[in-house]
Structure 1
Amino acid sequence: MTRIALLQMTGSIDPVRNAQTLVDGIAAAKAGGARMLFTPEMSGLLDRDRKRAAAHLAAEAEDPVLAAVRKAAAEQGIWLHLGSLALRSDDNADRLVNRGFVIDDTGAIRARYDKIHLFDVDLDTGESWRESSVYDAGDMAVVADTPAGPLGLSVCYDLRFADLYRALTDAGATLLAIPAAFTVPTGKAHWHVLMRARAIESAAFVIAAAQAGRHEDGRETYGHSLVVDPWGDILLDMGETPGVGFAEIDTARLDEVRRRIPVLDHRRAFAAPEPSA
Structure 2
Amino acid sequence: MKVAAIQMNTKADKQENLQKAERFITKAAEDGAIFISLPEYFNFMGPDTEKVQNAEEIPGGETYQLLSSLAKKHGVYIHAGSILEKYSDEKAYNTGFVVSPEGDVVAKYNKLHLFDIEINGMPAYKESNTIQAGESSATVELPFGKAGLSICYDLRFPELYREYALDGCNVLCIPAAFTQYTGMLAWEVLQRARAIENQCYVIAAGQFGSHAPGKACYGNSMIIDPWGTVIARAPEGEGVIVAEIDPSTVKQARESVPCLTHRRPELYKVK
State the TM-score, normalized to the length of structure 1. Answer: 0.93
Kept in 2: contact 1:40–1:210 (CA 8 A): yes
Match of 2:43 in 1: 44
Kept in 2: contact 1:13–1:217 (CA 8 A): no
Matches within 5 A, 1:1-277: 2-47=1-46, 49-89=47-87, 92-216=88-212, 219-270=215-266, 272-273=268-269
Q: CA deviation at 1:53?
A: 4.0
Gaps of 5+ in 1: none
Q: CA deviation at 1:270?
A: 1.6
The amino acid across from 1:268 in the alignment is: R
Kept in 1: contact 2:195–2:228 (CA 8 A): yes
Kept in 2: contact 1:115–1:138 (CA 8 A): yes
The amino acid across from 1:11 in the alignment is: T
Q: In structure 1, how many angstroms separate the alpha carbons of the residues matched to 2:52 and 2:264?
A: 46
Kept in 2: contact 1:26–1:73 (CA 8 A): no
Q: CA deviation at 1:54?
A: 4.2
State the TM-score, normalized to the length of structure 2. Answer: 0.95
SS of equivalent residue, structure 1 residue 174: strand
Q: In structure 2, how many angstroms separate the alpha carbons of the residues matched to 1:52 and 1:97?
A: 14
SS of equivalent residue, structure 1 residue 145: strand
Q: In structure 2, how many angstroms separate the alpha carbons of the residues matched to 1:81 and 1:28?
A: 15
SS of equivalent residue, structure 1 residue 179: coil
Query: Per-residue displacement from partner, 1:87-131 (whole Å, max 9, x unpaired)?
Result: 221xx2322100000111111100000000001100234210111
Q: In structure 1, how many angstroms separate the alpha carbons of the residues matched to 2:255 and 2:185?
A: 32
Gaps of 5+ in 2: none
Q: CA deviation at 1:263?
A: 0.8
Kept in 2: contact 1:19–1:69 (CA 8 A): no
Q: In structure 2, how many angstroms separate the alpha carbons of the residues matched to 1:195 and 1:12?
A: 25
Q: In structure 2, how many angstroms separate the alpha carbons of the residues matched to 1:119 and 1:150?
A: 27
SS of equivalent residue, structure 1 residue 265: coil
% same residue: 35
In the superposition, relative to structure 1, how do residues 146 and 125 fare at CA in structure 2: closer, same or farther (>3 Å)? farther
Q: In structure 2, how many angstroms separate the alpha carbons of the residues matched to 1:272 and 1:169?
A: 18
Q: CA deviation at 1:150?
A: 0.5
